[in-house]
Amino acid sequence: MPVASLPGKYGIGTFGKESYQFVDMLAEAGQSYWQILPLGPTSYGDSPYQSFSTFAGNPYFIDPEMLIEEGLLTQKEADSYDFGKKADTIDYGKIYRSRFDMLKKAFKRFDVSGDKAFSAFCKKNAFWLDDYALYMAVKNSFGGVSFIEWDEPVRKRDRKTLDSYRTKYADEVMFYRFLQYKFHLQWKALKKYANGKGVKMIGDIPIYVAFDSADTWADPRLFRFDEKGYPTAVAGCPPDGFSATGQLWGNPLYDWDHHKKTGYKWWIRRFRRCFELYDVVRVDHFRAFDAYYAIPYGDKTAEFGEWEKGPGYELFREIKKQLGEVDIIAEDLGFLTESVIKLVHRTGYPGMKVLQFAFDSRSDSDYLPHNYVSNTVCYTGTHDNETTVGWFKGLKTSDRRMALSYINRKTFENDRDLALSFVKLAMGSVSKLCIIPMQDWLGLGDEARINTPSTLGGNWVWRMKKGAFTKKLAADIRRITKLYARL
């Protein structure tokens, strides 16, 4: 359940009372984990997988009501903004135009110099926070365009130029530090509350960073850039069942030779930050650590890329050496070579199994539950899939017939009965962990789909209606969870 998809009066889910109520309902439903999407600040396209920083948090999730309680905002001020009128849809345009103006009012009332905890936070996180706050201030001064379009001295980080921008936009830089501080405090309080209720948080680390990000601007040596600062190749996926021309993500690729020379310092910092935020981390596109798909920069599709070698086990050996035995889920979906399978097995991390990939009447699939091993995490679907209801209704006749035979059903009473039939199939698998999208517990159709890969517009906007997570639903979830000995 994405944080953004929680209900509430401020246009998008926040770390406020609705998130605490959601935790309460999860505990009542006997659930031990809440998996969310990446928490980074979103850029154009609103995808949490394309963020302005891999270390920063999304200011949209800062709860206005908590700021009101602190005396940094008034209720009248918070209620004066238009964050969108539809309770079940996120209007990112309206939120962008309103949220920062509201948060700046709170910042002006914040005691920057007198808050010692704020100073300690800035000092501890200076290795990423200083660059991120300056990057956002400079970006705003250039009207929001990508850093590649900035004046060359600041784009290439001339020291004197950076100093002049720090001085000129000191207040704006401090504003972005303030946002990260409030994000940090509110998130840590929510996580502590969830942990106290027996609920662990599963976070998500996108393997790549956005081209237009503080990460690429601050240290271009980490990436495969040419002398002008442009990528030589970008990330994506080859043609597959999702897209006939592949997926062109456009993210810059890593210079793995450089990372190796530094002892993977940046990656260790990145993972350490993740484990400060989450109890468990799902590593997106895990297969790219074994081999990644490199698409020539400037190509319009992902059809003509080539596979290249990633860092392999060496990176994870270093992570284990410096961070210990951390809880990681390897997102190993898609076509897997023998070397990818060996890498996942060697790390010991559980891989993912998605039921929606299982029912191909032409062949026996690794995603059919009778082929699972226990060291896996089973899902009915993910944020990139249709809901189970939408998926089943779109199956071709032969695949639908196979699915019905597999679960020993002929018909369903309604959409929720349909969804719960596959929820039970996932729950009954040998996978050591089972994660169910909230939309499937609610029995919703594709109007509640989170994302359709390789499309623009209409993604990342679904919100759960207020009151949808009822006491009855919590009781049903608890009963099914107990039935399959997962309570």
Catalytic residue ranges: 284, 331, 384
Nearest to 446 by CA among 459, 436, 457, 427: 459
C-alpha to C-alpha distance for 354 and 371, rounded to whole angstroms: 12
Torsion sign over Cα 12, 13, 16, 22: positive
Instruction: Say if strands 306-309 and 247-252 run parallel, antiparallel, or are unpaired.
Output: unpaired
Torsion of CA 148, 152, 158, 161, to 10 degrees: -110
For residue 459, the SS3 value is coil
Report the phi/psi class of residue 30: left, alpha or beta, with left for phi > 0 and alpha for psi in -120 to 50: left
Task: Give the CB-side neighbour count of residue 151, counting CA atoms within 13 A.
Answer: 10
Please tell me the total number of residues recorded for the chain in this structure. Answer: 487
For helices 126-141 and 159-168, the axis angle rounded to 10 degrees is: 80
Report the phi/psi class of residue 447: left, alpha or beta, with left for phi > 0 and alpha for psi in -120 to 50: alpha
Question: Any idea what the Cα angle at residue 263 is, between residues 272 and 288, rounded to 5°?
Answer: 75
